[in-house]
Chain A
Amino acid sequence: MNAATAPIPPVVPVRPPASAARRLVDAIGSMRLAVWTMLFFGVLTWAGTLAQKDLGLYVVQRDFFESFFVRWDTGVEIADTFVLKIPLPGGYLLMLVMFVNLVVGGMLRVRWSARNIGILITHLGMAFLLVAGFVKMHYSYAGHVALYEGAKTSTMVSFHDFELALLRKDGDAILERTVPEALLAGSPLLDDAALPFTVRIGNWMQNCEPRQKGPMFEVDVPVVKDPSGAGVYLSQMEVQPERERNIAGCYATVVDRKTGAESTGILWGADFRPHDERRSPFTFEADGKTWGLDLRRVTWDLPFAVRLDKFQKSDHPGTMTPRDFSSWVTVFDDGAEQQFHIYMNHPLRREGHVFFQTNWGPQPGSSLRGPPWYSVFEVASNPSDYWPEAASYVILFGLLLHFVLKLFRYLRSSNHNATLPEMS
């Protein structure tokens, strides 16, 4: 900080007029770009925080932070007619720009000198952190496992996302093929030459409930008749900001390739785990085989099975403040059994999956009452699980190095002593 008198060596040395490519690289790596990116990122974060109140976390995360652009609906009305909407660059775009800017400007083009060693290390850590975020976003998945005491499972299901599953029984196995939720909303035609039928998805609803049709009202969606004569339809419900509270549904029309026969069924994504994990798909016959179509929470198979042996919750004496939630589980893996204790801040890490104690039940107010208890684990699979932690140490080291060195340089400089006020 010898700014007052000593000339500052410019970070980017002044050069004779450079080529357009050179200027582009300069711009990409410039500190101005860094500042503007960060300012936008700050505003975006602020907007995304406020918007959570109305939109809920999931939507904000998707629209603000994992997007390229967002139009922030501030909810502020101008002259009672016009709602103020501010366009902002999305988090994905900003982080991408930040990464490129950081690598080009903060690591490649910055002068590699002892003076800048802290800066370089810090930027390296930041870049690593952004990479960790990128890997997390694209290569991780998370869901949950909910188990009653004594129950065992080796599947985990998503909290939020649905998938369409085409199921066929084959001996003691189920053959399944899936389509992710994102593709279903556009009423796609699922036409796979290997299948003896096509499937048309329609009337996608983010939150809905099947109901029986009565004679005294009409509905504007198809009504599906059961053999018993009862009509069932999907009733649209208000979409909740808490994404996990929505239950998606749609209609599926199956057309047999040979006979041209059509049958329509309702698919509904409700999940009743841990009370009931059985699924009952919309069933139809084609090519002499029985098929099922099921809309379900995205389901992953774990490389091992888990059984909940015991769940325990304790409060501080004389109060209702929880002191501890604990689950004891047994992991079954290739014939071996192993016991684990999962509790707050002490997850189980195994084969790329991490089990966290996240919830329990039956919760007060539910129609079921405990015991027996069930325990809910959030399960995450994230290749970059430990990267941010490593990045944090690198960044801390870099920052400390930089500022401590800088402080020493400043204190040693004659400049500093010269400007100190005289005191008698």
Chain B
Amino acid sequence: MFVSCGLLNAQFSPEKRVSAEQRPTDFGQDHRQRFGLRDMRGTAAAQDPAATTPGFTAAMPAGWRAATPSEFRQLNWKVDADPEAECYFTAGNLRGGMLANVNRWFGQFGKSPIQQAEFDALPKHDLMGKPAVLVAIDGDFRGMGGAAKPGYTLLGLIGGTDDDMITLKLVAKSATAAAERERFLQLGASIRRGGTAVSSTAAPSAAPSSAPNAGSATVGDGFVADAPATWNAQPTSSFRQLNWSIGTAGAECYLTAGNLRGGKLANVNRWVSAQFGQSALSDAQFAALPMHKLLGGDAALVSVRGAFRGMDGSPKSDYALLGLVGGTDEDMVTLKMVGPAAVVEAERATFLAVAASIRRAGEPAPASATKPSAPAVAPAPAPSSVDAAVAPFAAAIPSEWQAMGDTGSRMLRHRFGQTGECYVGQLGGELAQMLGVWCGEMSQPALDAAAIAALQKQPMLGGEGVLLDLRGEHRGANGQPRAGMRLLVAVKSEGQGVVFCKMLGSEHEVEQERVRFANYCATLKRNDG
């Protein structure tokens, strides 16, 4: 009884005063900003067919064209060879569970629904870095209200969870579908959230000549930059795709992309007048600002000094702001450094160098980038001099990995996750024999010639190697077999021996790193000289 009375009389507690610093608060954001919901109707795609919606990216297969995305097709393609073929990727908008959706597809071919057990037994393929169910349906296709089209095939990958489903679907004439099947599967594997897709077929020649130095690259939410060690990478947020703190006096620098509204001038004026209380710039003044490079385009450089009022409203005297505003009014990119004027002035050159080095994740470092720190070289030579000779390799190292220091036999050695390890090695011996050794490690029978021929291909060292992917119990060398492990080895024959990239870790962790591993292998090259 008194409980319900209490409900009716619910009251606010007495007012309490807290410093804004203690309650960092962003007033005035709309719901999507507040909850970090991505814009599902990408506008960028229309301007740049190779790129796609801000939400997702993929490596477009050869002979395909990007088509305009829609609310239901976050990614959309056409196949050159068959104008009627369509392929699209849908995320998050589907309801009713995976089985129900697959059965809807069967329904489109006039087929009876399948049972959960049959669904579970369907083959799995990679979609967005996770295993997804692959469905293939042949027959008369009845699409949205059209007449039945005979001799059609639907290839569908459905992954994620019942609540958050993703699908990639190709509907085409059966001949087209058969011809494009491999590309379809590769496409599925290349799709990524944000940033740039991982291209599993990228020619190694495209590998960066100066691989980003693992020590200096800051990886943010979809972006990478080379920043000096004195800049401390901070966690990113939906408004700060790259984020650093500089020094101890509270200076900070961050990149904001795509989430800003109101146009470039309005944003600059928000800094100048709202935050520094100075008079706003006119169009002409804005146009006269000096330009610098930011994300491959030109950006206006704004420099303000005075008393600063940040988000929390507390005034700070003798502050300075350096801002770069680039992109278009609709799709703006800003890099901003704010802090005590002395710090900002001291870091000015670094700021511009960092700006020039910013790229979307997965892209090579811009050639023009002046590295603010040590020159990019292949991983620092290990203490042993033998490494320089026996391990003459370089590769793009994902910055999430931690360098472990090479040993004689393990080069470019890195760890990831809790237990995972990844390295490059070379051994004398035939490919088949070596594959047998690795199978043995995972306590599995050696592969026969047919099985070897059927192995997935993996570009590496300017050519093509094969990829061995084993799961199960790793017969660890320490006497304790470890269950639930996964071993990935990309291996390529060279002369009398083989060169290989080996990744070993728990299934879960390897799964998370698989794409990075593919990239690591694809960018592996001999470090001649």
Q: Do the two chains belong together in a single complex?
A: yes
Which A residues have a C-beta under 8 Å from some C-beta of B?
Answer: 148, 150, 154-155, 166-167, 169-179, 183-184, 186, 188-190, 192, 195, 210-212, 214-217, 224, 226-228, 230, 232, 237, 265-266, 268, 270, 272, 274-283, 290, 292, 294, 301, 318, 320, 364-365, 367-369, 372
Write the nearest CB–CB distance from A231 to chain B, whole angstroms: 9
Q: Pick from B7, B15, B29, B417: contact of A364, CB below 8 A.
A: B417
Q: Are B12 and A177 in contact (CB under 8 A)?
A: yes
Supposing A169-B20, A364-B417 touch, asked if A214 and B31 sit within 8 A by C-beta, the answer is no
Residues of B within 8 A of A268 (CB): 34-35
Complex alpha-carbon distance, A10 and B419, angstroms? 68
Q: Are B18 and A172 in contact (CB under 8 A)?
A: no
Residues of B within 8 A of A230 (CB): 30-32, 37, 39
Complex alpha-carbon distance, A266 and B14, angstroms? 24
Write the nearest CB–CB distance from B435 to chain A, whole angstroms: 29
Complex alpha-carbon distance, A258 and B512, angstroms? 55
Q: Other than the known A170-B17, A174-B25, what 11 A-B pairs have Cβ atoms closer than 8 Å?
A: A150-B245, A169-B27, A171-B313, A172-B20, A173-B20, A175-B15, A179-B10, A268-B34, A294-B25, A318-B478, A364-B417
Q: Are B22 and A177 in contact (CB under 8 A)?
A: no
Interface bits B86-124 vs A (CB < 8 Å: 1, else 0): 000000110100000000000000000000000000000
Q: Does B496 contact A (CB under 8 A)?
A: no
Q: Are A183 and B28 in contact (CB under 8 A)?
A: no
Complex alpha-carbon distance, A277 and B20, angstroms? 12
Write the nearest CB–CB distance from A170 to chain B, whole angstroms: 8
Write the nearest CB–CB distance from B404 to chain A, whole angstroms: 14
Question: Contact size class for B?
Answer: 35 or more
Residues of A within 8 A of B22 (CB): 154-155, 174, 301
Q: Are A292 and B27 in contact (CB under 8 A)?
A: yes
In the complex, which residue of chain A has the Cβ closest to the Cβ of B25? A279
Residues of B within 8 A of A215 (CB): 71
Q: Are B25 and A292 in contact (CB under 8 A)?
A: yes
Write the nearest CB–CB distance from A408 to chain B, whole angstroms: 55
Q: Are A179 and B313 in contact (CB under 8 A)?
A: no
Residues of A within 8 A of B20 (CB): 169, 172-174
Interface bits B410-422 vs A (CB < 8 Å: 1, else 0): 0000001111000
Q: Pick from B14, B32, B71, B418: contact of A232, CB below 8 A.
A: B32
Q: Are A179 and B25 in contact (CB under 8 A)?
A: no
Q: Are A280 and B26 in contact (CB under 8 A)?
A: yes
Which residues of B in the span 1-46 have a Cβ within 8 Å of any Cβ on A?
A: 4, 6-8, 10-35, 37, 39-40
Residues of B within 8 A of A237 (CB): 163
Which B residues have a C-beta under 8 Å from some C-beta of A?
Answer: 4, 6-8, 10-35, 37, 39-40, 71-72, 92-93, 95, 163, 232-233, 235, 237, 245, 261, 312-315, 400, 416-419, 478, 506, 508-509, 512
Residues of B within 8 A of A167 (CB): 23, 25, 27
**CB-based closest 3 A-B pairs:** A186-B7, A188-B10, A177-B12
In the complex, which residue of chain A has the Cβ closest to the Cβ of B19? A173
A-B contact pairs, 22 of them (CB 8 A): A172-B314, A173-B18, A174-B25, A176-B23, A177-B12, A179-B13, A188-B10, A192-B12, A212-B40, A217-B95, A226-B31, A230-B37, A232-B32, A266-B31, A268-B34, A272-B237, A276-B235, A290-B27, A290-B28, A292-B27, A364-B417, A364-B509
Residues of A within 8 A of B512 (CB): 365, 367
Complex alpha-carbon distance, A294 and B33, angstroms? 14
Residues of A within 8 A of B237 (CB): 272, 275-276, 278
Q: Pick from B4, B245, B416: contact of A186, CB below 8 A.
A: B4
Q: Is the interface of B mostly helix, strand, loop or mixed?
A: loop
Residues of B within 8 A of A188 (CB): 7-8, 10
Complex alpha-carbon distance, A228 and B278, angstroms? 29
In the complex, which residue of chain B has the Cβ closest to the Cβ of A170? B17
Supposing A186-B4, A216-B72, A216-B93 touch, asked if A172 and B19 sit within 8 A by C-beta, the answer is yes
Residues of B within 8 A of A177 (CB): 12-16
Supposing A188-B8, A268-B35, A318-B478 touch, asked if A279 and B23 sit within 8 A by C-beta, the answer is yes
Residues of A within 8 A of B23 (CB): 155, 167, 174, 176, 279
Supposing A211-B37, A226-B32 touch, asked if A172 and B312 sit within 8 A by C-beta, the answer is yes
Supposing A232-B35, A290-B27, A318-B478 touch, asked if A172 and B315 sit within 8 A by C-beta, the answer is yes
Write the nearest CB–CB distance from A14 to chain B, whole angstroms: 44
Residues of B within 8 A of A150 (CB): 232, 245
Q: Are B19 and A212 in contact (CB under 8 A)?
A: no
Q: Are B417 and A365 in contact (CB under 8 A)?
A: yes
Q: Pick from B7, B17, B27: contact of A173, CB below 8 A.
A: B17
Q: Are A175 and B16 in contact (CB under 8 A)?
A: yes
Supposing A167-B25, A174-B23, A369-B400 touch, asked if A210 and B235 sit within 8 A by C-beta, the answer is no
Complex alpha-carbon distance, A190 and B8, angstroms? 8
Complex alpha-carbon distance, A169 and B20, angstroms? 8
Write the nearest CB–CB distance from B271 to chain A, whole angstroms: 18
Residues of B within 8 A of A278 (CB): 24-26, 237
Q: Are B31 and A265 in contact (CB under 8 A)?
A: yes
Q: Are B26 and A279 in contact (CB under 8 A)?
A: yes
Q: Are A179 and B7 in contact (CB under 8 A)?
A: no
In the complex, which residue of chain A has the Cβ closest to the Cβ of B401? A369
Supposing A177-B16, A217-B95 touch, asked if A190 and B11 sit within 8 A by C-beta, the answer is yes
Q: Pick from A216, A228, A372: contact of B30, CB below 8 A.
A: A228
Q: Are B33 and A280 in contact (CB under 8 A)?
A: yes
Residues of B within 8 A of A266 (CB): 31, 35
Write the nearest CB–CB distance from B504 to chain A, whole angstroms: 14
Residues of B within 8 A of A172 (CB): 19-21, 312-315
Q: Pick from B17, B28, B245, B478: contact of A175, CB below 8 A.
A: B17
Supposing A192-B11, A301-B22 touch, asked if A282 and B235 sit within 8 A by C-beta, the answer is no
In the complex, which residue of chain B has the Cβ closest to the Cβ of A163? B13
Q: Pick from A173, A179, A211, A281: contact of B12, CB below 8 A.
A: A179
Residues of A within 8 A of B25 (CB): 167, 169, 174, 278-281, 292, 294
Residues of A within 8 A of B315 (CB): 172
Residues of A within 8 A of B416 (CB): 369
Residues of B within 8 A of A190 (CB): 10-12
Q: Are A183 and B10 in contact (CB under 8 A)?
A: yes
Q: Are B18 and A176 in contact (CB under 8 A)?
A: yes
Interface centre among A167, A169, A367 (most CB of B within 10 A): A169
Complex alpha-carbon distance, A173 and B21, angstroms? 8
Complex alpha-carbon distance, A290 and B232, angstroms? 34
Complex alpha-carbon distance, A184 and B233, angstroms? 39
Interface centre among A210, A274, A280 (most CB of B within 10 A): A280
Interface centre among A237, A275, A276 (most CB of B within 10 A): A276
Residues of B within 8 A of A292 (CB): 25, 27
Write the nearest CB–CB distance from B22 to chain A, whole angstroms: 6
Supposing A172-B314, A176-B16, A177-B16 touch, asked if A232 and B29 sit within 8 A by C-beta, the answer is no
Residues of B within 8 A of A232 (CB): 31-32, 35, 37
Residues of B within 8 A of A301 (CB): 18, 22
Write the nearest CB–CB distance from B309 to chain A, whole angstroms: 9
Q: Are A183 and B313 in contact (CB under 8 A)?
A: no
In the complex, which residue of chain A has the Cβ closest to the Cβ of B233? A372
Residues of B within 8 A of A272 (CB): 237
Write the nearest CB–CB distance from B29 to chain A, whole angstroms: 5
Complex alpha-carbon distance, A232 and B416, angstroms? 37
Complex alpha-carbon distance, A8 and B4, angstroms? 54
Complex alpha-carbon distance, A268 and B34, angstroms? 9
Q: Are A214 and B40 in contact (CB under 8 A)?
A: yes
Residues of A within 8 A of B32 (CB): 212, 226, 228, 230, 232
Q: Are B419 and A210 in contact (CB under 8 A)?
A: no
Interface centre among A174, A186, A226, A281 (most CB of B within 10 A): A174
Write the nearest CB–CB distance from B516 to chain A, whole angstroms: 11
Residues of A within 8 A of B400 (CB): 369
